[in-house]
Amino acid sequence: PNGAGKTTLTKILSTLLLPTSGTARVLGRDVSREGAAIRPLIGLVLGGERGLYNRVSGRENLRYFADLYGLPSGSVTSRIREVLDLVGLTEAADRRVEEYSRGMKQKLHLARGLLHRPPLLFLDEPTIGLDPRSARELRKLVRTLSSEGVSIFLTTHYMFEA
């Protein structure tokens, strides 16, 4: 339900917030003391309007984040192509993000979260704002990623997604 702390827990586990008490560990590391070691190992999809650069294209957003993640420059173009294809944004890749629908922005957030091939992916209500078909595709993608060995931490309002 709303207000249960799903997003707060996700932010604590992904090292965006410090816990006010107690301890939390991710991949064997303490989130309060080892945040810098955790961050390269996780992907985070919070969605919404924040975290993307609206005046540049989806592809340029991903190139920027690839640089932040320290991806090898020789593989960036092909990796961006892979994640754009994976989330179904290939045709819109060179349009400005400000022209994207909310669902397209959510897909771009997911592409960003997968860009550096993290072993753990945090998804905070990833189907919010997606049309039914895109939501089904995202759930299918989550199952595929899980079967490929990616650990998924997913928060949702929908019991059938849990």
Tell me the C-alpha distance between 44 and 155, whole Å: 12
How many C-beta neighbours within 10 Å does residue 117 have? Answer: 13
Domain residue limits at 56: 6-156
pTM of this structure: 0.89
Reference 129, options 106, 99, 152, 149; nearest CA is: 106
pLDDT in tens, 2-52: 777 888 999 999 999 999 999 999 999 999 999 999 999 999 998 667 889
Tell me the CB-side half-sphere exposure of residue 129, using CA atoms within 13 A: 18
In a domain, 72, yes or no: yes
pLDDT in tens, 87-133: 999 999 999 999 998 889 989 999 999 999 999 999 998 887 788 88
In a domain, 130, yes or no: yes
Q: Which residues contact 147 (CB under 8 A, 6 or more apart)?
A: none
Q: Which CATH number characterizes residue 108's domain? A: 3.40.50.300
Give the total number of structural domains in the chain: 1
In a domain, 162, yes or no: no
In a domain, 51, yes or no: yes
In a domain, 136, yes or no: yes
Beta bridge partners, 45, equal 123
In a domain, 161, yes or no: no
